[in-house]
Structures are given as structure tokens and as C-alpha cells.
Amino acid sequence: MPSATTANSNSALRQLPSVDALLRCDVGSEIVAAAGDAHAVLLARSVVERQRSEMKADDKRSRSDLLDAAEQMMKEHWQKEQMAGTQRVINATGVVIHTNLGRSPLSRAAIDAIVEAAGYCTLEYDLLSGKRGKRGARAEQLICELTGAEAALVVNNCAAAAFFVLTAFASGGETIVSRGELVEIGGDFRVPDILSQSGSKMREVGATNRTKLADYEKAITDQTKLILRVHPSNYRVIGFTATPMLADLASLAHSRGLMLYEDIGSGALTDVIADEPSIADSLASGVDIATFSGDKLLGGPQAGIVVGKANVIEQLRQHPLYRALRVDKITYAGLEATLDAYRRSKAAEGIPVQRMLAATKEEITQRAEAFVGKLAKTALKIDLTDGVSAVGGGAAPAVKLATTLIALSHPQMSSARIEHYLRASKPAVIARIVEDRVMIDLRTVSESDEEDLVAALNHLSMALFTADDADHADRTDQI
């Protein structure tokens, strides 16, 4: 770098702050206290290095100006770091199962159960006998009771469950699947990829929009190991379509000594979303094995749930891959508490996603009106407007839930800037912009989040009013 070399021989470089000086300033001490000496030194060094490399030969700034600039730079670095990592947000997007925002918010009961299990717990211990117990037994029993399955098994997520089933039962042979179901669910889950990874050869049948029972029948050879049905989840073919009934597909599979596996994806234990297939119906149709997610419509922790015939599930349990895919005590604790709400028929009140999906437009309008009444009156323009919320999580893409949105706008501040400002709040508020207004959908904001949301909006109003909220504005600038 010629400029640095020139500067080197120049006195400008000698005015650069030392790492020590930087650590002694306010931000420096704050970082030392919050993140420890080692990290603070790392940050201070990188700031001084950057200042050195960016310095021009004719830089005339004094030592104290340079220290101020370095301190400001370090503060910005530090604030950026604060925005990273897993932290709570308020989901004001109206997308209920929001994969980027952690999918299903857990129920109070699930959170309490997780906190309890975080210490020592009965993960593999039987209190009755005082001997080793069967891991996952309680969750499996609840799943069976709720779905009518003979047996169940829990793994890390639905993608793992699908991979597991295909590997255990179809590797080295062929899996027959309709061309209409070779979908990508999002987050890189693609049916053809998971099949090839499992070592099973994909045998595509039918057309994108229509596949008949005879198509499956003709494709069966002595290489066939499995018939796969995939719920298209976030994708719908409408119009001239056909797909065989699950029961007919099951009869065909069984008459030829094959297994039928359905990847349901989200699946439903209740009828809150009419568009999603019920897990119990799938099993009742004769499916041998089915998989679905714990954190989609079910509203529990991330998990992949496998249900099916007892002998089939037992083979999975004995398979070496199970040890690699099994879940921990935290997942079991959260899942058991979630399933327990369904068993007590309390899902509609107790499980957040179920409650949010069931909320009517009238309820949301009432909440929105009361909410707006709590906001400070300022130049921020606040209107209520009709809108739609989405199920999300790759479930029921065609379902549009009518809602009432709180629309924010300001004559001087762009909606992008308002959205940035809210995103930089603590907790961050995630909203969406529609037609140049920032939209808040209370469907996905729990009542317990409302106070913080009011505070964030009032803070925003104040900042717009006084325009002197330098600290917050700094944080905003960095997004």
C-alpha cells in the first residue's frame, strides 16, 4: 500500500491511538466488562489496524481526534456484534410459522418443562423401578394416542426423518414417486436430493399435474423397495390435476409386498387449517410409515416425528442411524408438554401457533384498536387497514387469513427507515412493508409481547419527534 508506506515515514502514523488507550476509553471498558479482556483486545487491535491501513500520508488529525474516531469505530463494531446471535424478536409479520424467526413459539407449559428438564431429569430413567428407562417413551406414547399410530419415534427434524426412513427401507433399491411431488420445501430440502443421498434410486412416475394409480403399478419391478408420497407443502398444482387416493396407493403397495411411506411435512392434529392433511387420516388410509415436523402446525420444538406400524418403527429404532439422529432431553420435554395440551383438548388455547391461526379478524381488530389507543400521539401516522396473514412454514400456501393491520407511516421518514428503526429496537420488532407503509400484524404478536411493542413504537415516535435519539439512530444506521 503506497499511501501507508508514505504515511509510515510521515508523522501522522505516530498519532495513532494505542490498543491500551482504546481499551481505557468508555466503550473499551464496556467491552472489557461485557465480553472479557481477550475479546476487547482483539476488537481494539482490529480498529487500530484499520485506522493505520486507511490513513493517508497527509492526515492532519490530532492524537485526540484519532482516538475519538477509533472509539467511534470500536463502538460501531461492538454494536454490530450485539445484533448477532440468537435473540428474542417480536414477530409482527403475520406469518405464523416463520422459519426465519424460529418457527413455532413454544407454549408456556413447554417452556416450563424445558427449564425443568435442563437440570437432571428422567431422560432414560424409570422412577417406578429405579432402573434404566426407555428414552422417549412418554413422547412416543402421547404421539400414538393422538394419531392412532401403533408406534412412534422422534428424530432431529422432518428432513432427518425422511432421510432415515428412505435410508433404512429403500437404499440399494428403487423408490417410486410422482413427478408432481418432486418438490423443494425451502431451506434446501429437496425430495430428489434426499432420495439420492439415501442411496435409493428415484423412479419418477406420472406428470407434474396428474399421476394415476396405474402409473405407480406399471413402475413396480423387483428393484422396487418403497412407494413414496410427499405432501407438496408450500406448493400447489391447481386445475387439471389427479393423484390416487392414499388408500388405493396403500392397497397397491401391500398387494405387491411393498411399503407406502408418506412425508406429510406439517400435518395436522386439529382441523384449525382445513388445507392440511390429518396424520390420523393418513395412517387410517393404510400408510405404513409417515413423517412430520414438531415445529410446524404442531407448535412444538424442532423435531421429526415418525409414526407407523410397530414392526416398521422397531426396525428404525434398531438401526445404527437412530443413534445419530435422536433428540435430547430438551426436545423431549418441550414435545411432551406440547402433545399433552392436545391430549387435554387444550391446543386451541395452549399452543401459540394454534391460537394465532384460530384468531378471527374481529378479535384482531379489537386488539389492534385497543393497542393503538396505548400509543403516544405524535407525527407518526397510524391507521388500521385490512390485510392477510399467512400460515407459513411451508404449510397451506393457499390459505389466506383475514386480518387487520396497523399501518405506520411518517411524512418525513421513509418506511424503510421506520422498519430499520423497529428492527434495531430491543427486542427487535420484525415488520413488513406494504405499499410504502410499515405493517404490524398483531396475529403473531403474543399478548405478553404487546407491552414491549408499545414501548418500541412510542420510542420510535419520540425519536421522530425529538430527532435527538442519537444512540438508537447509530444502532439503526448499522443495519
Ligand X SMILES: *Cc1c(COP(=O)(O)O)cnc(C)c1O
Min. distance of Cβ 320 from ligand X in angstroms?
A: 21
Min. distance of Cβ 182 from ligand X in angstroms?
A: 12
Close Cβ partners of 419 (under 8 Å, ≥ 6 residues apart): 431, 432, 433, 438
Taking CB under 6 A as the rule, does residue 246 contact ligand X? no
Among 185, 307, 335, 391, binds ligand X (CB under 6 A): 185
Taking CB under 6 A as the rule, does residue 338 contact ligand X? no
Q: How many CB atoms lie within 10 A of CB 88?
A: 10
Min. distance of Cβ 277 from ligand X in angstroms?
A: 10
Cell 431451506 -> residue: 187
Among 162, 176, 339, 401, binds ligand X (CB under 6 A): 162
What is the Cα–Cα distance from 151 to 418, expressed in whole angstroms?
A: 51
Closer of 188 and 435 to ligand X (Cβ):
188
Min. distance of Cβ 185 from ligand X in angstroms?
A: 4
Among 71, 263, 340, 449, binds ligand X (CB under 6 A): 263
Min. distance of Cβ 204 from ligand X in angstroms?
A: 17
Counting beta carbons within 10 angstroms of the beta carbon of residue 354, is it exposed (0 to 12), middle (13 to 18) or buried (19 or more)? buried
Which one of the spans 12-20, 89-97, 152-160, 417-425 is the region binding ligand X (CB under 6 A)?
152-160
* Cell reading at 424: 434495531
User: What is the distance of C-alpha 284 from the center of its chain?
Assistant: 30
Taking CB under 6 A as the rule, does residue 158 contact ligand X? yes
Closest to 465 measured CA to CA, from 413, 424, 422: 413
- Type of residue at 10: N
Min. distance of Cβ 186 from ligand X in angstroms?
A: 7
C-alpha count within 13 angstroms, C-beta hemisphere, residue 66: 23
Min. distance of Cβ 161 from ligand X in angstroms?
A: 7
Among 394, 396, 419, 429, binds ligand X (CB under 6 A): 394
Q: How many CB atoms lie within 10 A of CB 188?
A: 9
Site string for ligand X, 66-105 (x = CB under 6 A): ----------------------------------------
Cα radius of gyration rounded to whole Å, the chain: 28
Closer of 78 and 189 to ligand X (Cβ):
189
Close Cβ partners of 379 (under 8 Å, ≥ 6 residues apart): 410, 411, 412, 461, 464, 465
- Type of residue at 475: R
Q: Are 276 and 234 in contact (CB under 8 A)?
A: no
Size of the site for ligand X (CB under 6 A): 15
Min. distance of Cβ 14 from ligand X in angstroms?
A: 57
* Span 299-318, contacts to ligand X by CB under 6 A: 304
Closer of 28 and 277 to ligand X (Cβ):
277
- Type of residue at 85: G
Close Cβ partners of 167 (under 8 Å, ≥ 6 residues apart): 198, 199, 200, 321
Among 55, 117, 230, 252, binds ligand X (CB under 6 A): 230
Taking CB under 6 A as the rule, does residue 249 contact ligand X? no
Residues that bind ligand X (CB under 6 A): 157-159, 162, 185, 189, 230-231, 233, 263, 265-266, 293, 304, 394
